[in-house]
Amino acid sequence: MTDVLTPATDTGAVLPPLRIGRHVIESPVVLAPMAGITNRAFRRLCREYGREGSALASGGGASGATSLYVSEMITSRALVERSPESMRLIEHDPDENPRSIQLYSVDPATARAAARMLVTEDRADHIDLNFGCPVPKVTRKGGGSALPWKKDLFKAIVGAVVEEGGRRDIPVTVKMRKGIDDEHLTFLDAGLTAEAEGVAAVALHGRTASQAYSGTADWAAIKQLKETVTSVPVLGNGDIWSAEDAVRMVHETGCDGVVVGRGCLGRPWLFTDLAAAFAGTSARVTPTLGEVAATLRTHTEYLIDFYGEEERACRDIRKHIAWYLKGFPAGSTVRNSLALVDSMAALDALLATLDPDAPWPGEAAEGQRGRAGSSRTVALPDRWLESRELSEEHRRTIAEAELSVSGG
């Protein structure tokens, strides 16, 4: 799909395949769930590049689960109620394996019902639980990265979903942050609880909720979690902008695999790089602007297939434009016009104005993608921090929250 540098070195595999329950993931890389991003269209694109990387590393046609590609977050209540958008979001391509879905819930009964639906209706092969979302509308209801503070609630949700998954050997994993802020850390006890409840792996984003995506990810916390949770894989997440970052994280933390989010925005070929890097080769993708434009167009085609509407697909691709063009010579007029595109014909006309031979810009295209934001006080339910156990008042709060968070 894109030009690849000839491997300069081959040092042998950095890590063995990642085992998530019964699934063997050839390249120990997980696509992080990202709202509005990791739909079926984007996952398809990333899978294609991941397969390319595995084939490159092995010298032949790789097959199977090259990496684990997780859906965007699905609200358990909306799933149980079968909202049309949630049902769309849990769709998978016929060749998508394992079919991976991330669930969000603040209520054990609803989480159990959603997991039971996925398991009994054969809609997933892997379930990930979201305890990492730092968005205020989620944390102020006690969800996401605020939830592990309530140890009994966290244990109940994890235990319920693991039990349902166990009915058909569907592994369950947990993705979390360090805690609410530096004074209210939860990752070590949450990791131990998840391990005791029978999860297949735990993933840690090395930031607190109060950091959002600002500052620097604390890889030392990932190392600490790896030293604490010893019977299941520990995955590291945060500030992986390149394959070299991923390998460095493994060496510094001892983690069993990496979770990649913002680093692949507008850069799905990062999965080629990652597969090659973990296989021990230095091959990296360096696409020309023409090749990037072709990938952007393919992404749009996949979105049309996903939505069934050309206009909606074109509206969706707009947010990816700046990420794809990062570092390349493309004037503001073209960039602004692309950000308003409403049809494939308009997209093609604008892409045709780009210089297809413009080479990969190197450092200008590397590094951080997506908004970092700034540190903030975390929005929480009243008196949430007064106790690690759930009060009756907070039981009512989360019951209301489960009903109020919109689907998808």
pLDDT in tens, 28-54: 999 999 999 999 999 999 999 998 877
Residues 1, 315: Cα–Cα separation, whole Å: 24
Residue 408 has pLDDT above 50, yes or no: no
Determine the residue type at 353: T
Q: Averaged over 117-139, what is the pLDDT? A: 97
Tokens of 245: 């970052």
DSSP string, 129-180: EEE----HHHHTTT-GGGGGGSHHHHHHHHHHHHHHHHTTT--EEEEEESEE
pLDDT in tens, 363-385: 999 988 887 778 899 999 999 99
Determine which of 55-64, 128-137, 200-209 has the lowest per-residue pLDDT on average: 55-64
Cβ atoms of residues 391 and 152 within 8 Å: no
For residue 139, the model assigns a pLDDT of 95
For residue 59, the model assigns a pLDDT of 59
**Who wins on pLDDT, 324 or 55?**
324
For residue 62, the model assigns a pLDDT of 47
Tokens of 109: 């009964």
pLDDT in tens, 299-322: 999 999 999 999 999 999 999 999
Band (pLDDT 50/70/90 cuts) for residue 267 is very high
Q: Tell how far CA 355 is from the center of its chain.
A: 32
Name the residues annotated as catalytic. 133
Band (pLDDT 50/70/90 cuts) for residue 63 is very low
CA distances from 265 to 10, 42, 44, 244 (A): 27, 10, 14, 17
For residue 257, the model assigns a pLDDT of 98
For residue 11, the model assigns a pLDDT of 62
Tokens of 260: 């990649």
Q: Averaged over 272-293, what is the pLDDT? A: 94
For residue 374, the model assigns a pLDDT of 85
Residue 12 has pLDDT above 50, yes or no: yes
Q: Averaged over 59-73, what is the pLDDT? A: 75
For residue 7, the model assigns a pLDDT of 47
Contacts of 320 (CB under 8 A, 6+ apart): 265, 266, 296, 299
> What percent of the chain lies above the pLDDT cut of 70?
93
pLDDT in tens, 16-25: 999 999 999 9
Residues 296, 299: Cα–Cα separation, whole Å: 5
Band (pLDDT 50/70/90 cuts) for residue 125 is very high
Q: Given the structure tokens 């929480």, which residue do they identify?
A: 380
For residue 399, the model assigns a pLDDT of 81
Average pLDDT, the chain: 92
Question: Helix 40-58 and helix 289-307: axis angle, to 10°?
Answer: 130
Cβ atoms of residues 330 and 296 within 8 Å: no
